[in-house]
Structure 1
């Protein structure tokens, strides 16, 4: 059953251990740095119940007849992907910003492991059964699911055994009830989520067949021994009027410390076998890449909208140079959209029988969206000019002694000073604030670093058609010995 906002908030009052800015947090639902994003996630639950948005957010499960969240539905048709896109867009429209780690963008990593059941069966059929059961459970129960991936890592020139072995999360014991894990992981939104899919980051196992670091499991975010140590949030530092995005959609990142945490056997998806760990690393973003790139599209929409609105306010949209820069932003936006549309149109059946977005198209779309984002933000700064970094605060605009001057000098024709101030404040938060810089870095690294993005393109691209075409045109024998 889909939770309500009230259900979700109450579920977070479970005694979880959370720290931020040196303070132990008693209730993440009311703390000023967590409350805005908790409210945003709670709003997603309520959207699933409201008549105007329920159809966009949910579907009726064939087996149970119950309404379930479309974000957690394993995709089997193109319509599933169209529905998922409508769902994400409904959320972002309502929240009026970009939220990434809210569940739909991370549960797909479980579907990737679902595709690896043959690998899991070679290790232990119970692990395969665990993932099948969990995927179904997540579909029906609609938990807020995140994905714990990145480790502290330590000295990367050394194996973890050559330094503090806990720099990478590992299994330190097992008993009849399950495995005991120790280490740390970084994950956005963990402190206000229900559970996490925890898995290793190691890509090269140095010919090891077994390793205590090769482990994947479901972790309860309020389990004994789980501690959330969070970065400082951006919400609450300044007024909503001056920083509308920072105060509405900042997603707080967490270092999750596993201090000898017991993971029940039914929540273990693989253990010790490096082949299973390698499989999930190679396929991790097979499904989650779609909603991730879709968030890039929404960010591009916000930038394009700001560029066009700013040009209209100042009357410079008639200039050729301004039109060219706005067109560059439009090209960026439409190229991302083209990858999303094409990936669904050319969707492929997965090894587990699901429907995954066309892999080469999606991975190349991710590379384009991530690598061009910084340049597009700078293009927008160039187009906007320096005024977004010079505008006084909303409190100054309200001061009766200086308000007449600001009303005079910030007014542009029919656009009064307050409307101009609001646009400049939005642009500052979108491009120049702490939140903006954090978002830029997050979008670049959230699904692994750029070199991994390119490697994913290489590993998922079919080079044969281009090679065969070239060989036929050149009248040469292909490298595999065949004749054109």
Structure 2
């Protein structure tokens, strides 16, 4: 095996890309399967193209003077996404938070895997690259080189953390199913070859590259199965790599009829690898199970990613509060004490998230690598609370909307022979029929459509199974000081 990487073949780019450049980058030989057929072009397929174009519009905003100072920073004369900023002060942490929040507002939190999410991961691995030297200096150098490649080329990454579960008992023991789990099948002087499956690549078909890093939740890389212990990034268009998608929730409806799913349908896909070649320069951990299990926590990638997440969930909760208030005002229910109480509950959740973000940023501190990180505990709290909050937020939309969520004619009914009936019978106290239907179609898309159901499921399991996440929180919590107070009181008896 040759791991010499004194020179990288990864070319440097010119900084943030335009939306057009992003879309052109998707026109390659990637193998994406959707609804029984191979997709010829993800930028043209009706189930994928509108979300890709939405993301392209976000890429354009990076160069818009209105947003540029927030979502980018200058490095070596190039504008780089702020999510790639290695924080060296509390002010840098706050700047990153403002950029995460701005990106999230563009989709009202409906895109859970905007590029800044994985950018935070890559940046943390770069900032703590010396940890990777435990496996060999060349792997740390690979990460440093890849960071510069990703930042200057403004790459859009997805990730796939988990092996498929075939035998649940084996999975609980942290063992990989040898028939389906992704593993290294051979290596040579140029790189490694991998075969197997990983899930779940959200935004995968519309991404440039897929990050294949070890899971932090299930600790699957145990024992002597070294062929399962690795971390690498591969282009989505790598020969032998295919993505198998779920059904699309973009049903080619107008923005009026489906205001969310027509814009923000971020596809999920299972990634299949069949003898996929990965050059050594794209490999960051290899045959180091213990390092695989420790990497995300020890280089603080989890903390930096959680920072992006709390900003995104805040934007999403704010949007739902706005929707609830608009629904109540339209019907005149905003004067009802019970309705006020229900909406106030959503406001409580929103302000809790805002406070947790503020606490994490204000208590940012220097880590062992000389970088700054947000305080982890508030972020851990937010990622455990929001999976409980979100279903309740959706329930509040359903309770307030009730039958109005179903009394939602199609946009075409506004101009056909029944238009007069629609105009007369679908109005509300404070809203004309056209605007009332638009508002409640939005609420429908969020709370009862297939798109909305996927959003709720996604939020329940965003960071992993709730019982696992709660157990991790319990283990990390500083319980001793509190128990000491209890014991101190009891000792005085």
**TM-score in terms of structure 1 length:** 0.91
Distance (Å, rounded) in 2 between the aligned partners of 1:288 and 1:101: 11
Provide the residue aligned with 1:465 in structure 2. 481
Provide the residue aligned with 1:386 in structure 2. 403
Provide the residue aligned with 1:171 in structure 2. 184
Matched, 1:227 2:242: yes
SS of match in other structure, 2:169: coil
Distance (Å, rounded) in 1 between the aligned partners of 2:335 and 2:158: 46
Provide the residue aligned with 1:482 in structure 2. none
Question: How big is each residue's C-alpha offset from its partner over 1:194-235, in whole Å with a ceiling of 9 and x where there is no partner?
Answer: 112202337345862552111111111111111121112111
Matched, 1:69 2:81: yes
Provide the residue aligned with 1:364 in structure 2. 381
SS of match in other structure, 2:263: helix
2:256 to 234, 241, 249: 241
| More displaced stretch, 318-327 vs 130-139 | 130-139
Matched, 1:403 2:419: yes
| More displaced stretch, 447-456 vs 353-362 | 447-456
Question: How big is each residue's C-alpha offset from its partner over 1:431-450, in whole Å with a ceiling of 9 and x where there is no partner?
Answer: 11100000111122122221
Provide the residue aligned with 1:480 in structure 2. none
Aligned 8 A contact 1:12 1:192 in 2? yes
Aligned 8 A contact 1:108 1:285 in 2? no
Kindly report which structure 2 residues correspond to 1:23-38, keeping only aligned pairs within 5 A, or say none.
23-38=37-52
Structure 1, unmatched stretches of 5+, are 478-484
Provide the residue aligned with 1:375 in structure 2. 392
How has the CA–CA distance of structure 1 residues 208 and 380 changed in structure 2, closer, same or farther, with 3 Å as cutoff?
Answer: same
Kindly report which structure 2 residues correspond to 1:199-238, keeping only aligned pairs within 5 A, or say none.
199-201=213-215, 203-204=218-219, 208=223, 211-238=226-253
User: Offset at 1:2?
Assistant: 1.5
SS of match in other structure, 1:27: coil
Distance (Å, rounded) in 2 between the aligned partners of 1:204 and 1:86: 33
SS of match in other structure, 2:287: strand
Aligned 8 A contact 1:107 1:146 in 2? no
How has the CA–CA distance of structure 1 residues 391 and 210 changed in structure 2, closer, same or farther, with 3 Å as cutoff?
Answer: closer
Provide the residue aligned with 2:36 in structure 1. 22
Matched, 1:91 2:106: no
User: Offset at 1:476?
Assistant: 7.1
1:305 to 308, 319, 322: 322
Provide the residue aligned with 1:182 in structure 2. 195
Matched, 1:280 2:295: yes
Distance (Å, rounded) in 2 between the aligned partners of 1:2 and 1:154: 41
How has the CA–CA distance of structure 1 residues 71 and 205 changed in structure 2, closer, same or farther, with 3 Å as cutoff?
Answer: closer
User: Offset at 1:290?
Assistant: 1.6
Provide the residue aligned with 2:458 in structure 1. 442
SS of match in other structure, 1:217: strand
Aligned 8 A contact 1:115 1:350 in 2? no
Matched, 1:82 2:99: no
Matched, 1:354 2:371: yes
Distance (Å, rounded) in 2 between the aligned partners of 1:429 and 1:275: 44
Aligned pair count reads: 474
CA RMSD of aligned residues (A): 2.4
User: Offset at 1:83?
Assistant: 2.2
**TM-score in terms of structure 2 length:** 0.90
Distance (Å, rounded) in 2 between the aligned partners of 1:188 and 1:123: 29
Provide the residue aligned with 1:134 in structure 2. 146
Matched, 1:455 2:471: yes
User: Offset at 1:246?
Assistant: 0.5
Question: How big is each residue's C-alpha offset from its partner over 1:228-259, in whole Å with a ceiling of 9 and x where there is no partner?
Answer: 21112111343322111000011011111111
How has the CA–CA distance of structure 1 residues 272 and 291 changed in structure 2, closer, same or farther, with 3 Å as cutoff?
Answer: same
Aligned 8 A contact 2:202 2:269 in 1? yes
| More displaced stretch, 304-313 vs 447-456 | 447-456
Question: How big is each residue's C-alpha offset from its partner over 1:348-395, in whole Å with a ceiling of 9 and x where there is no partner?
Answer: 323332222211110011111111211221122112222112322222
SS of match in other structure, 1:152: coil
Matched, 1:268 2:280: no
Distance (Å, rounded) in 2 between the aligned partners of 1:348 and 1:27: 45
User: Offset at 1:22?
Assistant: 1.2
Distance (Å, rounded) in 2 between the aligned partners of 1:162 and 1:373: 32
